[in-house]
Amino acid sequence: MDILQIKESEWARYRAIRIESLQESPNSFACNKEIESAQPEDYWREQLNKEFCFIVNDKLDNIDCALFCLAPASAAPPWLIFDADCFLHSCWISPLYRRTSTENSSNNNQTIYLFPLIMKYVLNFCEKHHWQKITLAVFTDNEQAIRAYAKHAFEKVGSPQPSRKVPGRMYISMNKLL
């Protein structure tokens, strides 16, 4: 597995996996597939210029199988930050790679689970940027995601809040100190 930072020139690749994530898991995100699908090239390039977006690629089959983004606090919605240095968002793993392990020849054929691999990368990236606190927002009914983040020491902050983008849904912020 390779974790690749997506450059502005790769906006179409980023768009493809983002749309795939919205199609496959529409209830996990505060964005809408139809609206994002209609966005022009400039929209996607701007996203990649103001934040750090990453794709996990299964190099054996050359499949982009996961996506996650980190936005500096200055680029994140202010109501989601809670004094954090960055905002983790758009996390998605293809269903074919969830709850499964992969053999990785560069790691002496050790079993690797994708979510912990992503979390390790996020922590290392944040440390390199001297970010001490990470925040994220997750819908309160996405119990699987809440448990996964909690296993990696993210803690709920505050009380559930109404989503500004999805009427009738509530989200909870979670923070992690490095």
Query: Domain with 56 in it: what CATH number?
Result: 3.40.630.30
DSSP for residue 4: E
Q: 45-68 pLDDT, tens per residue?
A: 999 999 999 999 998 889 999 999
Residue 102: what pLDDT? Answer: 58
One-letter identity of residue 100: T
Confidence band of 103 (pLDDT split at 50, 70, 90): low
Q: What is the pTM of this model?
A: 0.89
Strand partners of residue 101 = 113
Q: 6-45 pLDDT, tens per residue?
A: 999 999 999 999 999 999 999 999 888 999 999 999 999 9
Asked if 139 contacts 171 with a C-beta cutoff of 8 angstroms, the reply is yes
Domain count, the chain: 1
CA dihedral 50, 28, 24, 19 (to 10 degrees): -20
Domain extent for 136: 2-177
Burial of 22 by CB count in 10 Å (0-12 exposed, 13-18 middle, 19+ buried)? buried
